Structure 1
Amino acid sequence: MTRQFTKLFEPGWIGKLKLRNRVVLAPMATNFAGPDGSYTQRQIDYYMERAHGGAGLLITGNHKIENQIEYFAGPRPRADGDHLIASMTDLADAVHDKGAKIALQLSAGGGRIVRPANPKVSPVSASALPSCADPAIICRPLTSAEIEYYVNAFGAAARRAEAAGFDAIEIHGHAGYLIDQFLSPVWNQRTDAYGGNLDRRLRFATEIVKAMRKAVGPDFPISFRFSVEQKIPGGRGIEEAQAIARRLEAVGVDAIHADAGCYEAIEWIFPPNYLGDACMLDMADAIKQAVKIPVIAVGNMTPEEGEAALEAGKADFIAFGRALIADPHLPNKVRRGQREEVRPCVRCNDRCFGRTSASKPLSCTVNAGVGREQAYRMRKTAHPRRVLVIGGGPAGLEAARIAAGRGHQVRLMEKGPALGGTLKAIATPSFKKELRQMVEWWKLQLCKLGVDVRLNTPVTPEASVLAWADAIVVATGGRPLRPAIPGIEGDIVVDVLDWHLERKPVRGRRVVIAGGGLSGCDTALELAMEGKDVTIVEMLDGVARNLNGAHRASLLRLLSEDGVRILAEHRIKEFRNNSLVAEGPDGQELVVEADTVIYAFGMLPDDTLARAIQSKWPEVFVIGDCLRPGKVGEAVRAGFAVGWQID
């Protein structure tokens, strides 16, 4: 253990449960469950890998405690029947075999935030509120009998968790889900015993705690996760959150898991890179000041921020969510003094939240092996070969890493002076430091694996190195889309990638970004943060349309706060010496003054070299943007797959 992280790896206690360190796997949906809500081997492998990686406590994603009032079909984990105890036991045993402890997170369901499987059935909530999923639908308030049914169901689920060998339970009381709808006066407008002042709004939650405590006894740890700040008008603030925490402590809760947000402030539930490191630590600190029981901090935590928080007494445990998806062995690597070995989470929310919210299995932009931990455990090939990788972007870097890890002799040739491709080009702003870290991680891995990396070395169809290779991977990237708009060759017009790579000073104060995709929006935000007067011109009816909801919400908020003007549904007709001309949705022309125009119209595939090589050599793999431009995760997955295919 390095002295830098002494506190993070001290043993800790939640009630009478001793944990080997202060590292917690935060609860996250995986969509790996079976049709009946039981654990599949895929799900068990996923948690077992994170236990093997060194976390002290794993908290599962939320499990429904009933499926009658709020019915869902499909692979949603559940704890509403004794038939589930067998697979729950398999999971608990697997985690224990790796030295970690595990907590089962239990949820009353989504209430107003979900769309019921049966459209003829109204969603339930604390009160008759518009559904968050569809405001045209009015939720049905739970009856007193139904509340009692829920409370008893929590007790029964807690009993099953204990019977299966789980070490603790966490109550899902955050993010605007059903329990939170009772807690908050924004949504709880009841006039019975479950609405009104804080004690009455807390009654549903406290009855749940008491039912669970009755089922599992006084020593079984119970954690409660709730939003310290809801981040919406009229929502919960620090003072009320502290009062809630004190009342929960008084009824027997053993730990508070402090976070923020709700679905109207979704960026705080799945905090993207824009929110920075340790974005919720102040909330954990506020709860720590109010209670004597342990507090778990979460939200873009890093090992450094976690250690500092523990040292300062701002929290007792540090939860890592997406960071442990990206690298399940983060704890052990940090503990062994191998911090640079940790594969960074880039906080994009694309293949984690973006997939699970679409009812797809969990994946990861930078770790394509998520959910396939056993199938893709690195093993040497029986037939080592010579592999040539052409191109040092994310697809090529990942292909080289996997191929070399499997024992192939790999040579990577990059025509430019640095590795990273477009990833390096777009990672210039401060809020994209994780992308820069990812490139550095790849460089370290290739160095350790002995990959022969050659920069400033273009490959032609006649290059002799092609004859050296048994297998060739072409990952040369795409080329910027440059439409034939009059004036695009002008002095004030520059391509977004060229601007990032060359870092030429922006002329003047007025900057127009032509194109409102992610690259254009991030560039606009970067320049606005530097004090430029920025306008985005986009032909669609909105910007950043292909982003997941959490990422887009955060980006749009920041663009607004930094004064970026957005002209949607405007088609650019001409670039001029100090302006551009756009046509609006009403057909009227608009002249937008500009000292600099940066265009970001997207990418086109550039497979010229790939086709030439394929015509001469038998085993050629074409991946990444040169085949089909896409997101970083798609490039990484393509490289990962090719690295395994070469055998």
Structure 2
Amino acid sequence: MNAVAPHRAEPVAGGAHDVLFTPVALGPLTLRNRLVMAPMGTCLDESGHITDDTIAYYVRRSQGGVGAITVEGCLVSADTVGPEPKICSDDYLPGLRKLVDALAPYDVTVGVQLMHPGRQVVEGPSVAPSPVPLNSHAPVPHELTADEIATIVADYADAARRARDAGFSFVEVHGAHGYLPSNFLSPQHNHRTDGYGGDLAGRVRFSAEVAGAITGAVGPGMPLVWRINGEDAERDGLGLDESVAAARAIVDAGASAISVTAGTWLSLQVTLAPMSTPRGHMRRFAAAVRSAVDVPVMAVGRLDDPDMAAEVIASGEADMVLIGRGLIAEPDWPDLVHAGRLDERRPCIACNACVDLVGRGERARCAVNPEAGREREWSLNPVVTPRRVMVVGSGPSGMEAARIARLRGHTVSIWERDDELGGKLEVAGLAPSKHEVLRYRAFQAARLRTLGVEIHTGAEVDASTVASEKPDVVVVATGADPLVPPIPGIDGAHVHDAQRLLRGDVDVPTGARVVVVGGSATGCETAELLRERGAEVAIVEMARSIGRGIEAITRRQMVRSLRHDGVQVLTNATVVGIEPGLVRFTDAEGGEQELPADVVALAIGWRPSGKTFSGPLVEAGIEVRILGDADAPGDFVRAINTGADAALSI
């Protein structure tokens, strides 16, 4: 193939995003465009072996027009333990070959990431350059000897040979995010006094040896991409200046490209930024490395906005753009952008549900794409006999049920008592850090209209409404009603459901003292919004911590933000009474305390509404499906998947 110079790409005549679809060189390879699927774990393997589910997942992304795919990190050393696939012995080659062969029909360049977790392990041996634990709860890692380091370097080289034998076109070393090479680079965690520690020349030695061993093992025909942190985003961790110097050293050792990211296990809010983080927050790291090396550079960090992605390439900040979560949500992102069909892209809302599940060792799923993680079994088979399907409630589960049912050929109507579709999506999206949710709500509403779903808003539905519509099936997605426990004074005039405060139905003057009872997602979002508007806010929560039901990275970020903004957080606290001007509660020791309260917001929990609504319908002999919160309160992923499953079963 003819190489294309890896310098700044010039926009071509045509669409605003055409620069993304110009070819680019990766060593001796030529990628057809500048969009690369970032390596992200899926937990779709079995005991380290690639499965048919893994293959179907990557085939689906290959079909969408991406230029290259970097298959998720595979473990290079046999003594490491983790949920990742493995490439540490020939036993794993059949599955890896089968994966590469399955992607061959598509015009996509396929590589694989080589990974050693070092001290960042859930189980199994923890090793590191120095005996510095990950945190106070983690084991002290074993300090690697020089001989053990040499063995691991050889493991990387052997893994690269296996990648070549499996048919991969390139390999990438995960040298970022606090994994073993990153740990060596960190001045905070590498305290060695031998040739692998001390100044940067010592700390980069391990990475340089790995890069040299890999290129020596596979030869010049198989490019090596090195993933590095622009910064660790930790106190006294690797900073940008040293990162740039390290990148130069790794290129000198044989790397054909540098992929620039940031953060570690201790700063995941940077690595896997939640929706509250602005897009492109890591662009400057890629730009700094790009100005210092003469090989292609890949940028990452919420770059799934086509305008921003094109700007990154056209400006010369990077030569390629990595998209991870955006391709989980919308596998056809590249083709849709290339065709100018931007409104058809399902938006990734950076809710991190996919990350949270995999982090717990569960199979990948997506909060907005029910196909993700179950591509092998997914099929929208057209129905033989279309039926009249009436969906009552337009939250995430209701809208998804309506969409899938209509795609399969049913005649579908959706009914919502509020003036807009969305149900609780509307309320969730009102919090300052959750506006991305409204993008998804708008996308789904537009798709339903395009598909020809009959939409009724401002419509109260009861048994008589259903009787007049004469549906064959009623999908009950009416959500859940707020719990109102028997607390003395809870019916006071200054006590309101938190959703009313989020919607702005209650006037809360600047400086008002607000007590939010319940630290769930809704409680935290209410506190965030009211604090931004100038109220003095306290959260009172019975549990040991706030934010239950929120994905871990988003939760960590939100709790930090609330405390930073002056929200008082009281946990292990039980409200025992509400009076005009105050809330009484018991603390962890059982002592009674008081908080001043001009306004009280209730965010205590939910009670499913589905059975109450559906009871008369069932008695009338109507076929009913109850799903989402109407069946049992759950998270966004459950809502979307139950909506899809209900529609697939009709």
Paired with 1:19 and 1:439, the residues of 2 have a C-alpha distance of 35
Give the conservation status (yes or no) of the 8 Å contact 1:466–1:472. no
The structure 2 residue matched to 1:387, chosen from 386, 389, 392, is: 389
Task: Describe the SS at the equivalent of 1:182.
Answer: helix
Matches of 1:128 and 1:442, distance apart in 2: 50
SS of alignment partner, residue 448 of structure 2: helix
TM-score scaled by length of structure 2:
0.94
Q: Which residue of 1 aligns with 2:616?
A: 612
CA change 1:133–1:304 in 2 (3 A) is: farther
CA distance in 1, matches of 2:258, 2:432: 32
Shift of 1:410: 0.8
1:483 is aligned to 2:485: yes
RMSD value over aligned CA atoms?
Answer: 1.8
* 1:46 equivalent in alignment to 2:57: yes
Matched, 1:99 2:101: no
- Equivalent runs, 1:545-560 vs 2, <5 Å: 545-560=548-563
Q: Aligned ranges for residues 77-88 of structure 1 at < 5 Å?
A: 77-88=85-96
Match of 1:165 among 155, 164, 167: 167
Cα displacement string for residues 102-158 of structure 1 (whole angstroms, at most 9, x for unaligned residues): 1110012x22221324xxxx52111112244833x2211112221111111111111
Q: Cα offset for 1:486?
A: 2.4
2:209 alignment counterpart:
207
1:537 aligns with 2:549: no
Corresponding residue of 2:456? 454
Aligned to 2:543, the other structure's residue is in SS state: coil
Kept in 2: contact 1:113–1:132 (CA 8 A):
no
Query: Do 2:380 and 2:648's aligned partners in 1 also have CA atoms closer than 8 Å?
Result: no
Q: How does 1:28-39 map to 2 (within 5 A)?
A: 28-35=40-47, 37-39=48-50
Residues 478, 630 of structure 2: 8 Å contact kept: yes
* Alpha-carbon distance in 2 for matches of 1:466, 1:269: 53
CA deviations on 1:321-340 (whole Å, 9 max, x unpaired) are 11111111111111111111
Q: TM-score, normalised by structure 1?
A: 0.95
Residue 329 (structure 1) aligns with? 332
Match of 1:14 among 9, 12, 26: 26
Q: CA deviation at 1:449?
A: 1.4
Provide the rounded CA distance (Å) in 2 between the counterparts of 1:229 and 1:385. Answer: 56
Shift of 1:269: 2.5
Q: 2:549–2:635: 8 Å Cα contact kept in structure 1?
A: no
Q: Shift in Å at residue 502 of structure 1?
A: 4.1
In terms of mean alpha carbon deviation, does 314-323 or 635-644 score higher? 314-323
Deviations 1:588-645 (A, max 9, x none): 3222223322221121111311122122124211112121111122111110000100
Instruction: Give the SS at the match of 1:304.
Output: helix
Q: Distance in 2 between matches of 1:207 and 1:436?
A: 48
Match of 1:289 among 276, 282, 291: 291
Cα deviation digits, residues 346-396 of structure 1 (max 9, x gap): 21222x121111211111111111122242232311221111111111111
Distance 1:54 1:487 in 2: 59
C-alpha spacing 1:474/1:363, structure 2 compared with 1 (3 Å)? same
| Equivalent residue letter for 1:443 | A
Query: 8 Å contact 1:2–1:335 — kept in the other structure?
Result: no
Deviations 1:544-581 (A, max 9, x none): 13433322221122112222221111211222322222
Which letter maps to 1:390?
V
Q: Does 2:191 correspond to 1:196?
A: no
The answer on whether the counterparts of 1:5 and 1:304 sit within 8 Å (CA) in structure 2 is: yes
Distance 1:471 1:425 in 2: 28
What SS is found at the alignment partner of 1:371?
Answer: coil
Q: Relative to structure 1, is the Cα distance of residues 87 and 434 closer, same or farther in structure 2, using a 3 angstrom cutoff?
A: same
User: SS of the residue aligned with 1:246?
Assistant: helix
> AA paired with 1:613?
L
Q: Is the 8 A contact 1:2 1:337 kept in 2?
A: no
Is the 1:300–1:320 Cα contact (8 Å) retained in structure 2? yes
Greater displacement, 256-265 / 460-469:
460-469
Q: Report if the CA contact (8 A) 2:502-2:529 is conserved.
A: no
Cα drift, residue 503 of structure 1: 4.4
1:266, 1:550 within 8 Å by CA — same for their partners in 2? yes
Q: Which moves more between the two structures, 393-402 or 486-495?
A: 486-495
Q: Amino acid of the residue matched to residue 157 of structure 1?
A: A
Matching of residues 135-146 of structure 1 within 5 Å:
135=138, 137-146=139-148
Moved more, 628-637 or 525-534: 525-534
Relative to structure 1, the CA distance from residue 467 to residue 504 in structure 2 (aligned partners, 3 Å threshold; closer, same or farther) is: closer
Q: Which amino acid aligns with 2:620?
A: K
2:310 partner amino acid: E
Structure 2 vs 1, CA of residues 557 and 211 (structure 1 numbering), >3 Å: closer, same or farther?
A: same
CA distance in 2, matches of 1:516, 1:373: 36
Aligned counterpart, 1:463: 465
Check whether the contact 1:114–1:133 (CA below 8 A) recurs between aligned residues.
no
The aligned runs of 1:311-350 (5 Å cut-off) are 311-350=314-353
Q: Distance in 2 between matches of 1:422 and 1:150?
A: 50
- Deviation, structure 1 residue 205: 0.8
TM superposition shift of 1:272: 1.0
Instruction: Return closer, same or farther for 1:529/1:240 CA change in 2, 3 Å cut-off.
Output: farther
Matches within 5 A, 1:132-531: 132=135, 134-135=137-138, 137-301=139-303, 302-350=305-353, 352-465=354-467, 468-509=470-511, 510-531=513-534
Equivalent position SS for 1:112:
coil
Deviation of 1:263 after TM superposition, in Å, equals 1.1
Q: Are 2:637 and 1:633 aligned?
A: yes
Distance 1:355 1:622, change over 3 A: same
Instruction: Find the residue that maps to 1:507 and give its secondary structure.
Output: coil
Q: Which amino acid aligns with 2:649?
A: Q
SS at match of 1:582: strand
Q: CA deviation at 1:519?
A: 1.3
CA contact (8 A) 1:393 1:420 kept: yes
In structure 2, distance between residues paired with 1:138 and 1:464: 63
Match of 2:9 in 1: none
Whole-angstrom CA distance in 2 between matches of 1:641 and 1:466: 27
Q: Unmatched 5+ residue regions in structure 1?
A: none
- Residue 585 in 1 paired to residue 592 in 2? no
Q: Specify the code of the residue in structure 2 equivalent to 1:112.
A: R
With over 3 angstroms needed to count, the CA separation of the structure-2 counterparts of 1:286 and 1:181, relative to structure 1, is same
AA partner of residue 25 (structure 2): W
Among 23, 31, 34, the alignment partner of 2:35 is 23
Q: List per-residue Cα deviations over 1:390-427 (Å, max 9, x = no partner).
A: 11111111111111100111111222211000111221
Q: Which amino acid aligns with 2:471?
A: A
Which residue in 2 is equivalent to 1:65? 76
Q: Which secondary structure state, in structure 1, belongs to the residue aligned with residue 331 of structure 2?
A: coil
Distance in 1 (CA, whole Å) between partners of 2:218 and 2:374 is 34
Q: Which residue of 1 aligns with 2:625?
A: 621
> What SS does the aligned partner of 2:119 have?
helix
CA distance 1:133–1:359, shift in 2 (3 Å): farther
Q: Which deviates more, 233-242 or 571-580?
A: 571-580
The unaligned stretches of length 5 or more in structure 2 are 1-12
